[in-house]
Structure 1
Amino acid sequence: MLISLQALRALAAWMVVCHHFMQIFFDFHPTGPIGQFFTDRGAVGVDIFFVISGLVIYLSTLDKEIPGGQFLLNRVIRIVPAYWLYSLLMGLMLVCLGPWMPHSAVALPHFILSLLFIPSENPGGYGLYPTLNVGWTLNYEMLFYLLFSLVFTLPQRHRPLVLAAALFAINEVLGRYGVVSRFYQNNIMFEFLLGIGIGMLYRRGWIAQAFWLPIATIIASAVGIYHLTASDRLLNWGIPSAFIVLACVSLEPYFKGSRILKTLGDCSYSVYLVHVLVLYTGWLIGQHWQLNPYAVFAVCVPTIAAISWGSYVWIEKRLYRRMKDWADRRLLGGTGQAVANGRLQSTRQNY
């Protein structure tokens, strides 16, 4: 993956961390301009994630002979283990500490639906959120992966158009008439297409390397996000996020080779999953001992970073490789298809 995108993934993840810090510790009642910014705009990290996801999935599958089922299995192996682990931990926390956690509840049917990426009303009564509430974004991700796996049967040049039509049908037709959950009426799901569009530009060599123009684009996009609300998520936050991603791709030479930024990006998925658990734990301790919220947050940040690094190394990387090797052997018939196995092995880093 481009190091510039790794850096942007890390930034997006930590913006969401700060957003939820303001939610959990201050109930979205900020005490200053920085707190106000993260309260009102920290959630834009999700939009950046979606654009990057569309871009990366498009580029990582380009010109590769990967069956749709294999692609979907790769994504499930990559996403599910960490999500299920932290969902289980959140469920246990709610069972044990629920009375002290505001707006939080757990119920077995809802928990099972959460693990299956099926949107349902949270028992806490605050909307269509899974047990690990940040997992709502993964419901969109898994839908995107499913649809993407289905278009593998089509010629490559037709895939983006058919995928766009499928997303439109789900959002504007099936969702509107109640065939699927109203959850899918959110136009945030079209942000994956913005990422695919950037990927198409990148593939054609139409994104020139530069410095000042991308910097100006990032500043202008950030100003736009600052002054616009999420009332129209795609238009107000999705498109500016896409310009930020596009600008970062143009700035790639200035990021290339940075191992620190790569590591921060690698850990971003685990940061996204684990931070709510750490923040709730910090909040409970802070409430009990009457600690300063910012002092607690100062401890939460390195704790999130350390746990996320361990999660990336042991779950996202090592467990993924073992599960991937096992799946490849099962699907490819072991040693009987060594050549095909080698071909899939060569694309493993893209997934």
Structure 2
Amino acid sequence: MPAAQLPHSPSRPRLAALDGLRLVAAVAVLAYHYTSIDQEFWGNAAGEEFPTPSIFTRYGYLGVELFFVISGFVILMTAYGRGLPGFVASRLSRLYPAYWAAVVLTVLLQAFWDGGRQVEPVEALVNLTMMQEAWDITSVQGAFWTLWVELKFYLLIGVLLALGGITRRRAIALAMLWPVLAELARATDADLLASLLIPSWAPYFAGGMLLYLLHREGPDLLVGLGLGLNVVLCIRQATIFAEERALVHSEVAISTPVVTVLVLVMFAAVYACSSGPLARLEWRWLTLAGALTYPLYLVHGQFGFFVIESLSGTMSSYLVLVLAAAVSFLLAWLIHRFVERPVHEPLRRRLRDALERD
């Protein structure tokens, strides 16, 4: 998930290239939403407005899958060697401040713009919990559905921590058994279990976890076999999505061979940025790029669509596209600068102290 910020300490160096990869994933999702999905904010389908770019951006939805792989890597890194209170405090303080800001800003926008998602006041309040999906309540931003998926992954890691902490053996067992059990739950119509185990997304998180173990411990046959299993399961999930669901969101064909290649590239890119040659990059701007990713993901939907609907037809579509992206990046920077930076660390400390209190 976009909120999976990379931890940093003298013993845990920051992987700047992985921050940059997170921004690539966010921009891919943004481009998909602005230039490919079947929305009427342009006055017609986005794919018709941008026929050439949409040949490529139609695959931008895979940025979400890339987020999940990176999240599997980063969350296992965050949890390794840490107790449950520290993990919970870290995740809550990272997820919620920017999210609350995005919800409030979006509700204010929708108060005077009828083109966005309209929610009742009580529904907006439930949105602040990040658990609106559990009550089948509309999210104020379409991209928020992924946060509910992330919370379920955090729950599984939290259970592992509560049962005695993260070890190599436990991490491998979870990463290899979880996706298989999740698929069995779906196949046997065990709805509650399937909902908790998120079968459509489990292999992405699990694959990211195994990539972290490769980063931490080097080449390992068992980890490699588990990674291969999860990559295969990810390809299966991605091709099913391409065939059955992608056309629901756009009227353009999705090539399953292209999707297969992109899934392989996705895992290769995370490996290159964490254990390969790109892991040594130390460009400081990549750290800022990673910091902006989560708030950008949170706000790009409705605010970008507002700019598009307001300006479409008054100037070049490509200029409107640039302005929509610029507004989203500006809002992301403002949330990072004035919400995340001042709030995160004090909130984390207070939550940790409260959770550790007898």
For this structure pair, what is the TM-score category when the shorter chain's length is used for normalisation?
0.7 to 0.9
**Paired position in structure 1 for 2:91:** 75
Q: Which residue type is aligned with residue 147 of structure 1?
A: L
CA deviations on 1:87-140 (whole Å, 9 max, x unpaired) are 232233334322x34xx33235544554332426877xxxxx622211111111
Q: Which residue type is aligned with residue 136 of structure 1?
A: W
Question: Does 1:19 pair with 2:35?
Answer: no
**Paired position in structure 1 for 2:225:** none
Q: Which residue type is aligned with residue 145 of structure 2?
A: W
Q: Which residue type is aligned with residue 6 of structure 1?
A: D
Deviation at 1:190?
Answer: 2.1
**Which of 116, 139, 146 is residue 130 of structure 2 equivalent to?**
116
**Paired position in structure 2 for 1:179:** 192
Task: Please give the alpha-carbon distance, in whole angstroms, between the structure 1 residues aligned to 2:213 and 2:34.
Answer: 36
Q: Which residue type is aligned with residue 83 of structure 1?
A: Y
**Paired position in structure 1 for 2:108:** 92
Instruction: Mark the CA change 1:281 to 1:57 in structure 2 (over 3 Å): closer, same or farther.
Output: same
Report the secondary structure of 2:334's partner residue: helix
**Paired position in structure 2 for 1:292:** 316
Correspondence 1:317-336 to 2 at 5 A: 317-332=341-356
Q: Which runs of 5+ in 1 are unaligned?
A: 124-128, 208-223, 335-351
Instruction: Mark the CA change 1:167 to 1:88 in structure 2 (over 3 Å): closer, same or farther.
Output: farther
**Paired position in structure 1 for 2:242:** 231
Deviation at 1:252?
Answer: 4.2
Q: Which residue type is aligned with residue 83 of structure 2?
A: P
Give the conservation status (yes or no) of the 8 Å contact 2:19–2:289: yes
Task: Please give the alpha-carbon distance, in whole angstroms, between the structure 2 residues aligned to 1:324 and 1:67.
Answer: 14
Correspondence 1:1-351 to 2 at 5 A: 1-22=14-35, 23=37, 24-25=41-42, 27-30=45-48, 31-38=50-57, 40-62=58-80, 64=81, 66-98=82-114, 100-101=115-116, 104-108=117-121, 110-114=123-127, 115-119=129-133, 130-152=139-161, 153-154=163-164, 156=167, 157-162=169-174, 165-166=177-178, 168-170=180-182, 172-173=184-185, 176-179=189-192, 186-206=199-219, 230-231=241-242, 236=260, 238-253=263-278, 256-287=281-312, 290-332=314-356
Corresponding residue pairs, total? 305
Deviation at 1:245?
Answer: 1.2
Instruction: Mark the CA change 1:251 to 1:302 in structure 2 (over 3 Å): closer, same or farther.
Output: farther
Give the conservation status (yes or no) of the 8 Å contact 1:171–1:186: yes
Task: Please give the alpha-carbon distance, in whole angstroms, between the structure 2 residues aligned to 1:121 and 1:29.
Answer: 33
Give the conservation status (yes or no) of the 8 Å contact 2:149–2:198: no
CA deviations on 1:153-199 (whole Å, 9 max, x unpaired) are 24612134136545554554279333268696552232000101111
Report the secondary structure of 1:29's partner residue: helix
Deviation at 1:228?
Answer: 6.0
Deviation at 1:280?
Answer: 2.0
Identical aligned residues as a percent: 20
RMSD over aligned Cα atoms:
3.4
Task: Please give the alpha-carbon distance, in whole angstroms, between the structure 1 residues aligned to 2:213 and 2:171.
Answer: 12
Task: Please give the alpha-carbon distance, in whole angstroms, between the structure 2 residues aligned to 1:301 and 1:113.
Answer: 28
Q: Which runs of 5+ in 2 are unaligned?
A: 1-13, 221-234, 246-255
Q: Which residue type is aligned with residue 304 of structure 2?
A: L
CA deviations on 1:191-249 (whole Å, 9 max, x unpaired) are 00010111111112239xxxxxxxxxxxxxxxx99x96733899845454222211333
Give the conservation status (yes or no) of the 8 Å contact 1:4–1:252: no
Task: Please give the alpha-carbon distance, in whole angstroms, between the structure 2 residues aligned to 1:293 and 1:184.
Answer: 42
CA deviations on 1:229-274 (whole Å, 9 max, x unpaired) are 7338998454542222113334445752201122111211111112
In terms of fraction of residues, the more helix-rich structure is 1
Task: Please give the alpha-carbon distance, in whole angstroms, between the structure 1 residues aligned to 2:278 and 2:196.
Answer: 39
Task: Please give the alpha-carbon distance, in whole angstroms, between the structure 1 residues aligned to 2:118 and 2:175.
Answer: 36
Task: Please give the alpha-carbon distance, in whole angstroms, between the structure 2 residues aligned to 1:7 and 1:191.
Answer: 19
Task: Please give the alpha-carbon distance, in whole angstroms, between the structure 1 residues aligned to 2:182 and 2:199.
Answer: 10
Deviation at 1:61?
Answer: 2.8
Give the conservation status (yes or no) of the 8 Å contact 2:70–2:270: yes
Q: Which residue type is aligned with residue 173 of structure 2?
A: L
**Paired position in structure 2 for 1:214:** none
**Paired position in structure 2 for 1:347:** none
Task: Please give the alpha-carbon distance, in whole angstroms, between the structure 2 residues aligned to 1:306 and 1:195.
Answer: 30
